[in-house]
Every structure is written in C-alpha cells, then in structure tokens.
Amino acid sequence: MFIQAITRTRLLPATLLLALTAGCAFTEPVVRPELELPAQWAEGASTVAAPIHDTWWQDFGSARLDALIDEALRSAPDLRIQGERVVQAELALRQAGASLFPALNLSGGSGSRNVDGNESSSTDLDLGASYELDLWGRIAAGVDASRASLAATRFDHDAARLSISASVATTWFQALALQQRVDIARQNLTTAEHVLRVVQARYDNGAASALELSQQRSTVLNQRKAIEPLEVQLRQTRSALAILLGRNPQASFATDEQLAALQVPAIEAGLPSALLLRRPDLAASEARLAAAAANIAAARAALLPGISLSAGAGVGSAALLSLADTTRTLSISASVLQKIFDGGRLRAEVDIQRSRQRELVETHRRTILVALKEVEDALANATRDANQEGVQREILTEAQRSLRLAELRYREGADSLLGVLDAQRALFSAQDQLAQLRLARLNDAVNLYKALGGGWSAAAPSTLARPSPG
C-alpha cells in the first residue's frame, strides 16, 4: 500500500511538469563536412558497380585462403579485441539508459544500546525512491550519444573484420610468392651449376681460361647466397600469418598451393558517390558525428536547473530483530537545483563539445578523402601491374631463349663466357621479377576490395556475432 501511494504521488507532479515543459528538450543537428565528390574515377574505371559478396576472397580460387580467413574470423586476437569493445559499448548504453528510470533503495538495521543501565532496542526497515526529471533532455541526449557510439563501435568491428581478411590474404600471397622465389632461386642455382660443369669440362680440355672458370664459380656462389635470405623471409612471413590467425608463431602451413594457380579477379569500382555507403570506417565516422551532436545537447541541457523527486517509507519497532508494534513513516519531496556559479565549468564543457564536433567533422572529411585516394591508387596499381606482368612474361621468354643460345654458342666456342653470364643474370632477374609482379597483382586486387569496403554496405546488417556480456 505504501509503495502504491508513493508511486501515485510521485507520478502526478512528474506528469504535470512533463506536460508543461513538453518540447523544451535540447536537440542538435548532425554537422557533416561540405565535400564535393568527383563524378567518376580519374583512372577510368567502369561506372557500373558489380555487387561484391561478403566472402570476396573466394574470387581468388584458393581453397587454402578460404580456410585461413574463416579461421581468422573465428579466432583472430585483433577481431576478438574489437568484439569486446562492442560489448563494452553495449553495456555503456545500458548504463546510460538506466538513468531514465527511478532508483530504489532498501535499507534495514537493528541494534540495542545501554545507557546508565537503561537498555533500549530498535529495528528499522526503510524503502526510498528517487527520480530525476529529464526536462531538458540531458539524460536522453546522453543515451543518444551512447547509442551512436555503440553504432560506431559496431562499424569499427566490421572494418576490423575487413582489415583482418585483407591482411590474411596479402600475407598468404606473400608467403606463396616467397616460396616460389625460393624455388626459382634453387632452379637458378641448378642452372648455374650446370653451366659450371660445362666450363669446368672446357677448362680441363684447355678450351676455357681460369678466369672464365672463376667467374662461373662466383655466379654459383652468389646463387647459393641468394637462397638463405628468401628462406628466412619466408619463415618470418609464415609466423606473421600465424599471429594473425591466433596461432603460435612456430605453426606450420601447407605448401601444396602455387602462386601461379591463383586467379586475379576483375573488380568494378562503380561511382565515387557510392563509396560513402560501402565502407564501414566511413559509417563509423558518421556515427561519431551523431554522438558529438548528442553530447553538445547534453552539455547545453546541463546549464539549466534540474528537478529531482524523492519518496520514502519506513517501519520501525522498539523490539530487537522484530517488526511487531511498528511505527510507520512516509515522506515525499521535490528539489530544484540550479548552479549559480561554477567558474564557467559547464559553459566550458559546451565549448569543449563543440570543438570536439568540429574536430570530428574534419576527421570525417579526411577519412572520405583518404578513402577516395585509396580507390584511385588501387585502380592505378591494378592497371599498371597488369601491363607490367604482360611485358615481364615476354621478357622472361626472351631471357630463356637468350640463355639457350648463349650456352650453345659457348659450347661451340663461338662466344666467350661473358655472354652466358649476362644471359644467366637476365634470366634469374626476369623469373624473380615475374613472381613479384604476380604478387603485386594479387595484392592490388585485395587492396581494391578493401578500399571499396569488401561486401559491406550501410544497408546490410552488422556481421558481428555479439557475445553475451554475462
């Protein structure tokens, strides 16, 4: 009965005050940068954007890569860290929303005392309720800010998911390229040793000089020396990949996949204006602008007086640990608090939040400009490296032919060993550069996928599987 009476008494003035002050809550518009987007990409990409699916890495035709990225999305430490930040943001929103409800406190106690031989006992049980009327929308604005921050954190998680996928792909491609370069270096060593045997035979028969023999021995030694740095770099790349996946750095990986077997997908970039809806980092930046506007509204509302309602009910008894023959109390109060002087602290808070908003607007502008540049660079690199790879294949074909002819002419005594040495160096370089260009083309495709936001879009639901905070 006491609780019902308190509730009715408390809700009546609250309802009247809310009705009288309806529409008084502060609101702030979300400020966005004024930025004119280009009509099309400078690199001449198609204006038709083919949809990119969430599992864009499958376009490379690598079953091993598919398995690695699936593993990373399940257990990558960086992604789990970002997932916990989402949980913290969800709890912060719950915490902010709790201020919209009344607070209830229950207290009780019992004791006895003896003064000059007179013993007295008492037992008390009290229930108190307090509620702050959000007349100016300060608490609601704080909830809006927390909600926008939660959205930004979820978008950050989506951006981290995209970044992890891209990092696993490029690291795996680099490992395959290094493995191929090690294989090429070993093949070149075999070729150099074959030529050395030819020179040794000619030297034994008096047809080659000691200088020619020494030069070819130097070539063999240089080829042997070139293998070890590549092998070390390969081991370091694999350990970096293991860290991305959450494995021990000493973990091993299957080596049955070849770089040349991977496909380089064709990607349509679409229009620059569509980029704003395709990247989670831009969506996160936009959400932070909304949070900044809500924080300004909360800071402005804090300048105005606050009204709090409180009620209490209690029972007491003169008996120890007993509520028999109780006395009952009931109290209802309302209070108004207005700061008269705080040294300008509250007004400074408003100015701080406005400065923070201007900072975020410029940060958002820079994020958009960087995103546009990333797409332009990825498009340019993809076109350049595709052309370079085509030319390099022709160079490799000619280098192979030159080495065969140079070795044949040397066997016949028509040319000196110098021609063979030059042909060997040209072939070794052409093979290694072709492997690096193939790697560059694969990385260009990954970078373009990442710059376009992968398969993410602002209209798509978050890919986060939210863990339970309990």
Return the CATH number at 343.
1.20.1600.10
Within-domain flag for 469: no
Residues 6 or more apart whose CB falls under 8 angstroms from that of 54 comprise 454, 455, 456, 463
Within-domain flag for 461: no
Q: Tell me the backbone φ, ψ of residue 105, rounded to 5 degrees.
A: -130, 135
pLDDT-derived band of residue 323, with 50, 70 and 90 as boundaries?
Answer: low
pLDDT-derived band of residue 254, with 50, 70 and 90 as boundaries?
Answer: confident
Classify burial at 395, counting beta carbons within 10 Å of its beta carbon; exposed 0-12, middle 13-18, buried 19 or more: middle
- Cα distances from 374 to residues 272, 281, 370, 439, 449, in angstroms, run 11, 13, 6, 19, 10
Residue pLDDT, tens place only, 341-374: 878 888 998 999 999 999 999 999 999 999 999 9
Residue 165 has pLDDT above 90, yes or no: yes
Domains of the chain: total? 1
Residue pLDDT, tens place only, 277-317: 889 999 999 999 999 999 999 999 888 888 888 888 888 77
Within-domain flag for 320: yes
Output the pLDDT for position 320: 62
Domain housing 256: 2-108+119-451
| Top-ranked range on mean pLDDT: pick from 155-159, 200-204, 456-460 | 155-159
Residue with tokens 């980092």: 281
- CA-nearest of 230, 385, 294 to 30 is 294
Residue 118 has pLDDT above 60, yes or no: yes
Within-domain flag for 330: yes
Within-domain flag for 467: no
Enclosing H/E stretch for 243: helix 210-245
Q: Region 72-96: what's the mean pLDDT? A: 92
Please give the mean pLDDT across all residues of the chain: 85
Classify burial at 242, counting beta carbons within 10 Å of its beta carbon; exposed 0-12, middle 13-18, buried 19 or more: middle
Residue 9 has pLDDT above 50, yes or no: no
Output the pLDDT for position 114: 67
Least confident interval from 40-54, 61-75, 166-180, 211-225:
40-54
DSSP 276: G
pLDDT-derived band of residue 459, with 50, 70 and 90 as boundaries?
Answer: low
| Top-ranked range on mean pLDDT: pick from 15-19, 36-40, 110-114 | 36-40
pLDDT-derived band of residue 6, with 50, 70 and 90 as boundaries?
Answer: very low
Within-domain flag for 70: yes
Output the pLDDT for position 319: 66
Within-domain flag for 465: no
Q: Higher pLDDT residue, 324 or 388?
A: 388
List residues bridging with 129 in a β-sheet.
104, 311
Q: Which two tokens stand for residue 94?
A: 């719950």
Residue pLDDT, tens place only, 430-440: 999 999 999 99
Q: Region 44-70: what's the mean pLDDT? A: 84
**Sign of the alpha-carbon dihedral angle for 85, 86, 90, 96:** positive
pTM equals: 0.82
Question: From the centroid of its chain, how far is CA 357?
Answer: 23
The one-letter code for the residue type at 373 is K
Within-domain flag for 468: no
